[in-house]
Amino acid sequence: MHRPFTRAWADALREAINSDATYKSAAAKWTWPVALVLEADPALGYEEPVAVELALDRGTCHAATLVAPAAITAPFTLRAAYPVWKQIVTGSLDAVTAVTMGQVKFTGALTTLLLHVNAAKALVGAARLVPTAFPDEAT
């Protein structure tokens, strides 16, 4: 079980993406790095905002790196507060809907993201496979 937005969680996410056949086919045309940013949430132990940068290319994740948001170089960034990410990862909130309704702050070419909605949904699907220890839940 991994705490979200940690080194170990990022590694597990990369492995989950790379072993997910659904992602592989849905993202066959997605060729850009993506950064996921978690807003600071001191009550849950996230003193600063933190980002995981995913080097995605045609269905494969070549690297998942934990970085400070200022160091992000990916052309696509999805930024949200902890409760929103949790809802997305646990499947109660659709990631693309969250972008279109403004719960997730998106930077990058929306035209590109919207042409690859299935790749985005499959990425979230892979994230659901990561064994995750949610810090707001009693252990």
Q: Which two tokens stand for residue 108?
A: 């990058």
With binding defined as CB under 8 A, does residue 133 bind another protein?
no
Q: State the angle between helix axes of 82-90 and 117-127 in degrees (0 to 180), rounded to the nearest 10.
A: 90
Mark the segment that binds another protein (CB under 8 A) among 46-54, 67-75, 103-111, 125-133: 103-111
Which listed residue (62, 110, 128, 136) binds another protein by CB under 8 A? 110
φ, ψ (nearest 5 deg) of residue 124: -65, -40
- Draw the binding track, 52-71, toward another protein (x: CB under 8 A; -: no contact): --------------------
With binding defined as CB under 8 A, does residue 114 bind another protein?
yes
CB distance 13 to 123 below 8 Å = no
Which listed residue (101, 128, 133, 136) binds another protein by CB under 8 A? 101
If we measure between CA atoms, which residue out of 131, 94, 121, 95 comes closest to residue 16?
131
Q: Which two tokens stand for residue 123?
A: 């990425």
Which listed residue (22, 94, 129, 135) binds another protein by CB under 8 A? 94
* The total number of residues written for the chain in this structure: 139
Binding site for another protein (CB under 8 A): 29, 94, 96-97, 100-102, 109-111, 114-115, 117
